[in-house]
Structure 1
Amino acid sequence: MKLQPDQSDAQTISAYGPGWVAVGAEKITHNVVLGSHGERIEWAGSFEQLGPEHFAALAQLKVEVVIFGSGRRIRFPQPAWLAPLAARRIGVETMDTPAACRTYNILAQEGRDVAVALLLDAEP
């Protein structure tokens, strides 16, 4: 049996740290939505500035699940804001941003239709 690493064409996160993520060699320092098929959209300014329109925009993506990286700590969006995603049968998982990056990479490399919405808090 020949063993070789899985190959994937999915957009993945190559590194992350306080206030940034990297896709390949490109360092991104603003809140961003990344999709496994190459989508890249600038997103909300901060957790406090989030509103229903931000999650309604996520519902327009052609994905089966959205991973919400809420920053350095887990913070949940208001349940009513998730209604557009639920109406389109898109799952949502909330976690801190480092966990969201790792989870997104795993799902993207499995070939899943996934997006990650990241709040990139810098260190206080």
Structure 2
Amino acid sequence: MQLSEVFYSEAQPIEGYGPGFFRIGGQVIEGSAIIHAEGARSWAGYGDVETILGMKDKIDFILMGTGETMAPVEAAFREALEEAGIGVEPMASPTACRTYNVLVSEGRRVAAVLLAV
């Protein structure tokens, strides 16, 4: 089997996660996080939809990490994003981390919004 080096030219990958934190670009973010091509920071949860709406011209969709297991995304949150033309793909946060890394390595315009595990 041939292995290929993965390069992240446009964004930093998610390096790791654990109980209550995410590690991105050597920085540990406690609690929930949002990561996109321009960086990563803490995220206040479903009430903080404005942060994502502010990125609408830079992303096509978000990977919504819903915690340890996949759970439905709050309806008002999803509706606000979809009205702005931002798709929402819910999945467990560990899955969202892995999927984000694959998509940004392909140069996709995506953000990951992650509830802590």
**Runs of at least 5 residues in structure 1 that lack an aligned partner in the other structure:** none
Q: Which amino acid aligns with 1:30?
A: G
Alignment of 1:17-32 (within 5 A): 17-32=18-33
1:91-110: CA deviations, max 9, x gaps?
11011110010011111111
Which range moves more in the overlay, 6-15 or 64-73? Answer: 6-15
* CA displacement, residues 46-103 of structure 1 (integer Å, 9 cap, x when unaligned): xxxx34xx23431221201101111112221232322222123211101111001001
d(CA) in 2 for partners of 1:24, 1:66: 19
Partner of 1:94: 90
Query: CA 1:6/1:80 → structure 2, altered by over 3 Å: closer, same or farther?
Result: same
| Alignment check: 8 A CA contact 2:66 2:115 kept | yes
Structure that is richer in strand per residue: 2
Cα deviation for residue 111 of structure 1 reads: 0.4
CA RMSD of the aligned region, Å?
Answer: 2.0
Summarize the Cα distance change of 1:56–1:82 in structure 2 as closer, same or farther, 3 Å threshold: farther
For residues 25 and 42 of structure 1, do their structure 2 counterparts lie closer, same or farther at Cα, with a shift above 3 Å needed? closer
Residue 4 of structure 1, CA deviation: 5.8
Identical aligned residues as a percent? 35
Q: Which runs of 5+ in 2 are unaligned?
A: none
Instruction: Decide whether aligned partners of structure 1 residues 28 and 88 sit closer, same or farther in structure 2, where only a CA change above 3 A counts.
Output: same
Matches within 5 A, 1:70-109: 70-109=66-105
How many pairs align?
112
* Matched letter for residue 51 of structure 2: A
Deviations 1:11-55 (A, max 9, x none): 1101112211111322222211100x123232125xxxx34xx23
Q: So what's the TM-score if we normalise by structure 2?
A: 0.81
Q: 1:104 to 1:42 in 2, by over 3 A?
A: same
- Kept after mapping to 2: 8 A contact 1:55/1:82: no
